[in-house]
Structure 1
Amino acid sequence: MPSPGELGFERDIKPLFRAKDRDSMLSFFDLHDHADVSKHADAIIGSLLTGRMPCDGTWPEDQLAKLQQWIDAGKPA
């Protein structure tokens, strides 16, 4: 469990991925699973930064920053 000032997957990262995002990626990996998102984090952030993901618009800067901060912190659960 992350400390109050630390980002955690369940509380902070999982909610960034909508159900329709998860559904569209489920044949590759599960965006609501910590292990899958951790394993594919570099590809996910890369796709978000280039606009390939999600297909219906870009993420706001604060969400991108939160995901990058979580990655940089070691992808805590």
Structure 2
Amino acid sequence: MTDTDQHADSLHFSTDIKPLFRDLDRNSMVKVFDLWNHADVVAHQDAIVHALESGSMPCDGPWPAAQVATVKRWIAEGSRP
């Protein structure tokens, strides 16, 4: 696999992470951080992952494990925009 192929398979905030957060999620958290803003999510990524893993976020029930794993993989890959 070439370096280009690896980047093509990488997760990106704009296409893979931001769409996971609904209007409801964003509006619930916007006073603390903006879930649709890459810089805010990167700055608060540890707290976001903790809240997702504990089930305290989103406000109406926990995400499936696969969605949480996607966020964690995105972070591990370098939190690309």
TM-score (norm 1): 0.93
Query: Following TM superposition, where does structure 1 have runs of at least 4 consecutive aligned residues deviating by more than 4 angstroms?
Result: none
2:57 matched residue in structure 1 = 53
Structural mapping, 1:1-77, within 5 Å: 3-77=7-81
Task: Structure 1: state its 5+ residue gaps.
Answer: none
RMSD (Å), alpha carbons: 0.8
Determine which structure has the larger helix proportion and give its number: 2
Q: Distance in 1 between matches of 2:56 and 2:65?
A: 15
Give 1:33 deviation, angstroms: 0.3
Give 1:4 deviation, angstroms: 2.2
Q: Distance in 1 between matches of 2:52 and 2:65?
A: 10
Which residue identity lines up with residue 11 of structure 1 in the other structure?
A: T
Question: What percent identity do the matched residue pairs reach?
Answer: 51
Task: Structure 2: state its 5+ residue gaps.
Answer: 1-6
Are the equivalent residues in 1 in contact too, given 2:28–2:59 (CA < 8 A)? no
How many residues matched?
Answer: 75
Give 1:69 deviation, angstroms: 0.1
Larger Rg: 2
Q: Distance in 1 between matches of 2:10 and 2:51?
A: 24
